[in-house]
Structure 1
Amino acid sequence: MNKILLTLFALLVNMTVVLAQTETEADTTWRRNFSAGINLNQAAFSENWRAGGVNSIALNSHLNAGADYSKGRVSWDNEVQLQYGLVKNKGEEMRKSVDRIYLDSKYGYKLSSDWNSFFSANFLSQFAPGYNYNIDADGTDLLISNFLSPAFLTFALGAEYKPNPSFSLRLSPFAPRFTFVVDDEVADNERYGVPEGKTVRTEWLAAMVQASFKRDIATNLNLKLNYMGYLNYGEFSFERVDHRLNAVLNAKINRYISVNLMGNVIYDYDQDPGVQYSQSLGLGILYTLEGFTVGR
């Protein structure tokens, strides 16, 4: 079952790419946006530096892309968010600092000026292994995550409120989710809610709320927020509601140089009873294309 679902989602992503590149009819409009950046942070201290500090170097990269189609009452919105970073401190091996894969595709049908019915699919995972470092006296590292371990594939059916291009709110009373842990070593250490002896957990009866906001809040300053709340009807309690928030604040200094602040906040009881968060701040090179249209 899990191989079939992953294959279907891979086909969905490929269809998105192919159709987004296909020449369109006269009344067909595609709007695309793309941004990619690399940030480098470095610190060095002399051996007699009395204030304290550790020599370090860090490299973060990110890519955000979207392809939105609109024709009459029909819309098709597609989004990709990729983040990956490494950090090297003196005396330690290279370690991962940030790691995120997020794909989202939504088909909508306009009901009124502000409301759409929709069907969507989104995928969330990471690129590389993640560890708890030096958990034992001998310095053993514990593998706790990897590509597709975990991975979350969620389908949703519902209504979307979209009063303007900057904000949208999706309400999904039916949102089945599939949680994958395919790496046996990760499964020995972390289950992420997947039953023992299984590689996938299926939650058929569930609801989801998604909200997104993207806007220039000042000259050359852009804010992007994505929130996802998920509730399994069979485990109904406030403690069991999953929350995920991703935020990106980008300040453009000139055409190619930017400063960006990225943050992720997660509450998922199946992973940890506490709130998880990650944050990165960097100065680097940013290449952006916004709001261009393809059509005849």
Structure 2
Amino acid sequence: MKKLLTSILILGFTVQVNAQSFGEIQKVEPIGDQIYPIGAMPLISTSFDIVDFYQFEFNELVPTTGRTSFWEKINKFTLDLSEVAFLNWNAGGSNSISGLYGMNIGRIYKNDGFRWDNQFLFRYGINQQEGQELRKTEDDLELTSSFGYEVSKNSKWFYSGKFRFKTQVARGYNYPDIETSISEFMAPGYVFLGVGAKFVEPNEEFELYLSPLTQKSTFVLNQRLANQGAFGVQAALRDEQGNIIREGKTSRNELGILVTNEFKQKLFDSTVLSSRLTLYTDYINNFGNIDVDWELVFDFKINNFMRASLGAHIRYDDDIKIKEEAADGTLVEAGSRIQLKQQLGVGIVLDL
């Protein structure tokens, strides 16, 4: 027993001496928001029943208070719901419920003339009406990243490069036909990559991007849709009996001019107007024929958690041909058309 006690005392003394031989140490207690650049080192104290945390003296404590961050963040989540129910309603009607979920995640880095903007947008809406299957009403996924360097000190103009990716996540149908999809993830998918100049007015939340050299890539990774020549890709080559001789291409590349504009304008204390506009024209194929994607939204603030929105979305793409029903019931290609979507919703908004 005495030998065991003597051994333990020697071990404790040895641990203490070895710790001091590496450098003077001090016990650190957590203080407020202070952080430790190098992790604390656990050592067993000579009391044998308490585990303390030590840190070497040269690991200086760095307070986070007053520390400058070069990042700005946006975390906005929305959920709009609407419901209609009827019971013995003599005017008639169908029970229905619909929902629209939205995400807007943004990260902006600004330091020493550099500016790096990143934005992730996602919206997905569904509608369930009595006597019908669940239907998709909204489906947009977009990722944008631009990196720029200011033209001169404190200038609002930046030399800039921009990457943009757009697609949808779920299959789309030409209802009531739910057997054959007309779109799905990466069918279509769009990638824009180019260089140019960007003008930013932070206080007024205004941004204008001009690119004389942007590559637009269109992807249709569903071979059936690619064989049909959907969304402007080259269709399959067929013989007189309709048999495929050569599969359709699943991608298409264009080189042209891209102009984008985003701004927010506060109209009243509780009303904000937001606009997102994209214009693109290809140098080689039908130069001057402009693809348009314009979204205009009025946000009405009810309180800190409730809001109402009224919006319109206009698209025009010369490569997307609309199909119309002929007299015999078959679908025939009718050329390009303006696409229009209007939305009105009331729901919950969460800004973090």
| TM-score normalised to structure 1 length | 0.82
Letter matched to residue 79 of structure 2: I
Q: How does 1:136-285 map to 2 (within 5 A)?
A: 141-165=179-203, 166-189=205-228, 191-196=230-235, 197-203=248-254, 205-238=255-288, 240-272=289-321, 273-285=336-348
SS in 1 for 2:338: strand
Deviation string 1:83-103 (CA, Å, 9 cap, x unpaired) is 100001111100000110111
Instruction: Write the distance in 1 (CA, Å) between the matches of 2:294 and 2:178.
Output: 32
- Cα distance in structure 1, aligned partners of 2:298 and 2:75: 16
Letter in 2 for 1:152: Y
Identity over the aligned pairs, expressed in percent? 32
Partners of 2:169 and 2:348 lie apart in 1 by 22
Q: Which amino acid aligns with 2:128?
A: K
Deviation at 1:188, TM superposition (A): 4.5
> Which of the pair has more CA radius of gyration?
2
Residue of structure 2 equivalent to 1:132: 174
Q: 2:79 is matched with which residue?
A: 38
Whether the 8 Å contact between 1:31 and 1:68 is mirrored in structure 2 is yes
- Cα shift at 1:28: 5.0
Aligned pairs, how many? Answer: 259
- 1:99-131, CA deviations, whole angstroms, 9 ceiling, x for partnerless residues? 101111000111142211100100111111011
Q: Secondary structure at the match of 1:235?
A: coil
How big is the shift at 1:190? 5.5
CA distance in 2, matches of 1:198, 1:190: 8
* Structure 2 CA distance for aligned equivalents of residues 68 and 251 of structure 1: 26
Structure richer in strand, relative to its length: 1
Which residue matches 1:16?
none
1:51 shift after superposition:
2.4
TM-score computed with the length of structure 2 as normaliser: 0.69
Q: 1:140 to 1:216 in 2, by over 3 A?
A: closer
Larger RCO, structures 1/2 (Cα 8 Å, 6+ apart): 1
CA deviation map 1:241-261 (0-9, x unaligned): 100012332222112111122
Q: What's the offset of the Cα at 1:27?
A: 5.8
1:80 matched to 2:120? The reply is yes
Relative to structure 1, is the Cα distance of residues 29 and 190 closer, same or farther in structure 2, using a 3 angstrom cutoff?
same
Unaligned runs of 5+ in 2: 1-63, 236-247, 322-335
In 1, the alpha carbon distance for the partners of 2:94 and 2:69 equals 55
Counterpart CA distance in 2 for 1:131 and 1:188 is 18
Aligned letter for 2:183?
S
- Per-residue displacement from partner, 1:15-63 (whole Å, max 9, x unpaired)? xxxxxxxx9xx6651111111011110011224x232322111011111
1:95-114 correspondence to structure 2 within 5 Å: 95-112=135-152, 113-114=155-156
Return the offset for 1:159: 1.1
Deviation at 1:184, TM superposition (A): 2.4
Deviation at 1:263, TM superposition (A): 2.9
Distance apart, 1:142 and its partner CA: 3.5
